[in-house]
Amino acid sequence: MDTRLLRTFAVLARTGNFTVTAAELHLAQSTVTVQIRSLEKDLRVQLFDRLPSGAVLTDTGARLLQRAQDVLDAEDRLRHEAHSVGPIEGSVTIGASESLCAYRLPLAVAALSRTLPNVELHMRAVVTPLEAAEQLKAGRIDFALLLESHIEVPHVEAEVIGHESLSLVAVAGHLLARSGAPWERLAEETFFLLEEGCSYSDAFARQLLALPGKPPRMTRFGSIEAVRACVAAGLGLALLPVVSVKADLASGRLCAAQSFPDIPVQMLRHRSRWPTPAAQTVMARLSRLAADGWPDE
């Protein structure tokens, strides 16, 4: 069987669009159509329903997709092992939460790029473990880094490689920071939290809603910078990774109202996807950097 047909099958299953698949594989759209028809003829099954909205996997196609991916992984592994004596090279895409993408990975990726000149490193934002699992399965990312206390997603392995400090922050001089007010006092405040799916924000929201009396006012954003700006303007409080407000705390613009337990940095990979030597190397080196506290300059 021509594995090029399986690769086209896998990409079309991910994109659901013949035109996008052709562009990604640098093929003519007619070639993609012919390859899918050839594979269906060879397997004697229909892999896709051709709908006005795009190509949708049939039940049989969905069942065979993982098998096709296994074959492609085996082919990639064979090719890499055939050249294992050479330098580590290839492309590695890291999925990560916004705080890690913005405040940890840039310096880490720069350090890795200097020592792995033949490895092309990319970052892609992911929010939840489920989203990471989908990206891992589709091959859009090689592994993911998320701030999560606990991860239990089918077909995904997770390993704690470090920790990040969290703090409830407020504008400088806020009453909570000065008086050390009790937890119940928080019900009177306004909070700006990250969007649903951020585990530490979700857990904090549940704690706030469990307080007696009228529920506190909460607004959720998809951006740490939007949350930080609202707090800096004196509009309310927020629970954020300390690294994301480090400069504001150092300058005195913001203050730490209360401390919270550290949250683990978890590295996720798909159990059935074989990581390339480049991905394995990047994962190992990022694990060491996280354990050592990340590069800070």
Domain ranges across the chain: 3-82, 90-163+265-291, 165-261
Residue 213 and residue 183 in contact, taking contact as beta carbons nearer than 8 Å? no
Domain 3-82 shares a fold with domain 90-163+265-291: no
Q: CA 4 to CA 27: how far, in whole Å?
A: 11
Q: CA 295 to CA 289: how far, in whole Å?
A: 7
Q: CA 97 to CA 104: how far, in whole Å?
A: 10
For β-strands 48-51 and 54-57, DSSP reports them as antiparallel
Q: What DSSP designation does 177 have?
A: H
How is domain 90-163+265-291 classified at the CATH fold level? D-Maltodextrin-Binding Protein; domain 2 (3.40.190)
Phi, psi at 179, each rounded to 5°:
-100, -15
Q: CA 4 to CA 126: how far, in whole Å?
A: 29
Q: Tell me, yes or no, if the pTM score tops 0.75.
A: no
How is domain 165-261 classified at the CATH fold level? D-Maltodextrin-Binding Protein; domain 2 (3.40.190)
Q: CA 240 to CA 111: how far, in whole Å?
A: 26
Amino acid in position 280? Q
* Domain 3-82 CATH assignment equals 1.10.10.10: yes
pLDDT in tens, the chain (297 residues): 788 999 899 899 988 999 999 998 999 999 999 999 999 999 999 999 999 888 999 999 998 988 888 888 787 777 766 665 567 788 999 999 988 999 999 999 999 999 999 999 999 999 889 999 988 988 889 999 999 988 888 889 999 999 999 999 999 888 776 555 566 677 788 999 998 888 899 999 998 888 887 888 999 998 899 999 999 999 999 999 999 999 999 999 999 887 788 999 999 999 878 788 889 999 999 999 998 889 876
